[in-house]
Amino acid sequence: MEEGKLRFAWVIGTTWIQAMAASGELARKFLELTVENPNQVTSANVDAASDALIRRADSGGMVIVDQDIYLQNPIGKQMADLVLPAATWGEMDFTRANGERRLRLYSKFTDPPGDAKPDWWIIAGFAKKMGFSGYDWENSNQIFEESARFGRNSHRNYRPLVWLAQREGRNAHELLRDMGTHGIQLPIRWFQDMPRYDQDYLDYVGTYETRDNGVIVGTKRLHDTTLDLGLPQGPTVHKKWYTHFKTHSGKAVLSKSPWEWFSGFYERITPRGDEMWVTNGRVNELWQSMFDDSRKPYVMQRWPENHVEIHPDDAARYGIESGDEVVIESDDILIQTGGWSLVKGDEFLFSKLEENGLIKTGSGSCKAVAFVTDAVRPGVLFTDFLWALGWPQTEANSLVHRVPDPITNRYRFKLGKGKIRKTGESPYKRSFEKMTFAPRTII
């Protein structure tokens, strides 16, 4: 997008702007390519609207579709040309595997509001309109069963579950519903008879036993050299990573990032003068971008605004107390504008990117309520990583440089910087109705 090559963005369920590094500059670029482009939809006529969006894309602008369960600001409220209301959990049957690969069925218990539809229904409708075949699904179970064959070599393989359900004359969602909230841990293996594993292991990973069609068993840990796989049976696929890492030795390979690849960038972003490191992370009571939490009174009573933790020494230096409103600002936010494909050996280095004119400087700011605590080190500020409610005033990611790591191609979200200043007192400083400033440290 920075190179002006992105013409169409279909955003599904994310506060894209606030979640990205240098989010303030990104928002300005989005606005430039969308609402500030002269080609706007001014008629409800489908042909006229389509022509306007095509002219915008042809002129170097961008068209945005936003698909979400709530209308999010700014991607949905200000920038999207087409907003598609989506159904959420409880409004449809769907499956999900969590961080430990535990697969469960989340059952529908109510209808979605208004015209909201499941994501798969929306995508299938677009695909059929565009002339693609294979999107004639009638329910989410059909997608679940169809996609099973594409993950047979994956550590999230659930093909044996679908295979067993078909042998039982049932659909896969029904079988998974029988397994309740415990679910089954992926990848799944099928056995003709229950394997002789320790009962604690079987209870943990989840099993489903039938009278005549065998049993499926989950897998607790990958790369487990103590796991007795036996011979693969039925649809089970045994891969090396069940018991070893996918390397010549079978052991994990930990790659060290060479300091000389990082040192130039680190030296450039190191705070100077009144600047401080601005790092960010999660707050235990808040989930992701607060898309649901913002509608829960008890959560918003605890966290009505974003906060920033500051060490007592720094707080005294800037005349800041817990409960004060502060602003963290920087006009030195670095943004990479090109050089994504390596051409010569050292062109990925920050010094070379800067030398080749592929680094520009932007600005960002974040408003928050101060929380004085020795849980952070002097010279370091900590704030919520994605407080999306107060956009654009509360964007912590606006202070993060958008220059990806040359090895992982990931942004360094924890390495922001800025200057902090007090702007006044928040309404919570002298009231006990909302937001506590009691210590949050456990040890």
Residue 249 within a domain: no
Length of the chain, in residues: 443
DSSP letters for 405-425: -TTT----TT-EEEEEEEEEE
The pTM of this model reads 0.88
User: What domain count does the chain have?
Assistant: 3
| Predicted confidence (pLDDT) at residue 358 exceeds the cutoff of 80 | yes
Whether residue 274 is found in the same domain as residue 179: no
Q: Which pLDDT belongs to residue 443?
A: 62
Whether residue 267 is found in the same domain as residue 369: yes
Residue 270 within a domain: yes
Q: Which pLDDT belongs to residue 338?
A: 87
Whether residue 210 is found in the same domain as residue 267: no
Q: What is the CATH number of the domain that holds 395?
A: 2.40.40.20
Whether residue 413 is found in the same domain as residue 302: yes
Whether residue 270 is found in the same domain as residue 366: yes
Percent of the chain with pLDDT over 90: 81
Q: For residue range 181-195, what is the model confidence (pLDDT) as tens digits?
A: 999 999 999 999 999
* Host H or E run for residue 12: strand 8-12
Residue 120 within a domain: no
> 391: pLDDT confidence band, cut at 50, 70 and 90?
confident
Q: Which domain holds residue 207?
A: 140-242
Q: Are strands 416-425 and 276-281 parallel, antiparallel or unpaired?
A: antiparallel
Among residues 430, 420, 438, 435, the alpha carbon closest in space to that of 326 is found at 420
Whether residue 226 is found in the same domain as residue 280: no
| Predicted confidence (pLDDT) at residue 133 exceeds the cutoff of 70 | yes
Residue 106 within a domain: no
Residue 134 within a domain: no
Residue 252 within a domain: no
| Predicted confidence (pLDDT) at residue 6 exceeds the cutoff of 80 | yes
Between the CA of residue 97 and those of 41, 106, 155, 335, what are the distances in Å? Answer: 40, 11, 11, 35
Residue 299 within a domain: yes
Whether residue 293 is found in the same domain as residue 412: yes
Whether residue 153 is found in the same domain as residue 81: no
Whether residue 361 is found in the same domain as residue 220: no
Give me the torsion for CA of 28, 30, 32, 33, rounded to 10°.
Answer: 170
